[in-house]
Amino acid sequence: MKKLLYNLILGGLAISMTSCLRDDENFTNFQGVGAVAEIPSSAFYGIEYNQGLPIQTAPTNYSFDVNIASPTPPTQDVTVTLSIDQATLDAYNTANETSYTLLPATLYQVSSLTATVKAGSRLAPINLSFFSGADKVPDPTAYNDAEYALPVKITSASNNVAVSSNFGTKIIVLKIKNQYDGDYRSVGTFNHPTAGTRTIDKNKTLSTINATTVQTEYADLGTAAQMWLGVNPDNTVTLTPKGTASAATVQFGVNKYDPATHAFTLNYKYAGAGGDRVISEVITLK
């Protein structure tokens, strides 16, 4: 389906450009334009691509296509050679003020960095595998903090096919995510013994700590106050305060995760001057 979409778009653009330009007094004939090797997903979705990896023993397989852009499909096989290129990543970091780190070679596998686009065709795949199981990544938090990325660059193409200067690279940014990781909406109340009750209604991001635990903001006390939410086998939730959140936090009532609604129901409190601060919130996947 993806290949069909690319071909339809490329063909449609060619027909559209030709028919429109021929009606224009400034018509330019593109029939003599040479062929260019490119990564079409970089043209469609941008050079940076975010890939979430589940925590599992089996590798996560990922592929993308190289394309030969030309007025007509090539009449002979074209060999496209790629590389994992640190300089590409360095240049991208500088241009975009990012700080991605090259993914260690032990954490991925490439079946081949050479693709052959057959005569009469335009596309050929590059296949990769990424490792994110506990045997390779014992600490998903450290993995995510490292901001790993894999920079892939087309270095050459055979038969006088040029390499695209705009879409000849792809930066695959990798994050490990458990099933609870994501963007949520928190709705609830914060009851203060002297200041009264205020409403909690805000977005929260739940980030992977390990296979069963995520981290997010504690109540509505700002990003310095954090909590870990560990989902137990019976879907009850264990809350662990982190950062500036009160270490004396106590859970009460219902604390659970509902896999059907993807929602955390939390009830917790901590002591302070004048009495307990009592928080009740439901954090639901957006």
240 in a domain, yes or no? Answer: yes
Q: What is the mean pLDDT of the chain?
A: 91
Same domain, 172 and 186: no
Radius of gyration, alpha carbons of the chain: 26
Which residue has better confidence, 49 or 14? 49
Region 221-233: mean pLDDT is 98
pLDDT tens string 68-96 = 999 999 999 999 999 999 999 999 999 99
- Does some domain include residue 74? yes
Same domain, 78 and 170: yes
User: Residue 160, class by beta-carbon neighbours within 10 Å (0-12 exposed, 13-18 middle, 19+ buried)?
Assistant: exposed
Per the structure, the count of domains in the chain is 2
What is residue 242's predicted lDDT score, i.e. its pLDDT? 98
Within this chain, do residues 123 and 207 fall inside the same structural domain, yes or no? no
Distance between CA 230 and CA 210 in Å, rounded? 9
Q: 213 in a domain, yes or no?
A: yes
pLDDT of amino acid 34? 87
Residue 211, domain member (yes or no): yes
Residue type, 58: A
Clarify whether residues 54 and 163 are in a common domain. Answer: yes
Domain containing 253 equals 182-285
Q: Where do we find the tokens 């994992």?
A: 84
Same domain, 148 and 239: no
Q: Residue 82: which CATH number?
A: 2.60.40.1740
CA distance 176 to 182: 11
Amino acid at 257: Y
d(CA 70, CA 88): 25
* Contact of 177 with 52, CB cutoff 8 Å: yes
**What count of residues does the chain have?**
286
Helix (H) or strand (E) holding 14: helix 2-22
Q: Does position 59 have pLDDT exceeding 50, yes or no?
A: yes
How crowded is residue 86: how many other Cβ atoms within 10 Å of its Cβ?
Answer: 10
Q: For residues 146 and 158, what is the distance between their CA atoms, to the nearest angstrom?
A: 37
Report yes or no on 18 lying in a domain: no
Report pTM: 0.81
**Same-domain check for residues 141 and 192:** no
| Domain membership flag for residue 276 | yes
Q: Which two tokens stand for residue 264?
A: 């955390």
Q: How many Cα atoms occupy the beta-carbon half-sphere of 113 within 13 Å?
A: 13
Residue 11 is assigned to a structural domain of this protein: no
Looking at the fold, whether 50 and 119 belong to one and the same domain comes out as yes
